[in-house]
Amino acid sequence: MTIIAFPSDLPVPGEPDPEIVEVLEEYLEMAKRGEITGFAAAIISTNGTMRTGWQSRDWAAITAAVGTLFVRMQLAKTGD
């Protein structure tokens, strides 16, 4: 398997990504206000470790949300 990474895309170990922190803080505040009923996450650590998880009482809704995210990511990748 070949992995190609461009230097500008690589995270700097030990330094937080401000965009990631901003999004996580926004979602945390929404959760604290009771505005979130489900959450799914896919996390990639600087050492390459992948973690996934979800919390939701509505399996169908969270599954639909994850599917929508997948489609949005694919469209963003292709530029459509």
More confident residue, 61 or 2: 61
Higher pLDDT, 64 or 48: 64
Answer yes or no: is 5 within a domain. no
Residue 51 CB contacts under 8 Å (≥ 6 apart), including other chains: 41, 42, 43, 45
Q: Which amino acid is at 26?
A: E
Provide the mean pLDDT of the chain: 86
Question: No. of H helices and E strands in the chain?
Answer: 2, 2
User: C-alpha 16: how far from its chain's center?
Assistant: 15
Instruction: Supply the pTM of this predicted model.
Output: 0.72
Residue 68 lies in a domain: yes
Total structural domains in the chain? Answer: 1
Task: Give a yes or no: residue 33 inside a domain.
Answer: yes
In a domain, 70, yes or no: yes
For residue 29, the enclosing domain spans: 16-78
6 within some domain:
no
Within-domain flag for 46: yes
8 is a domain residue:
no
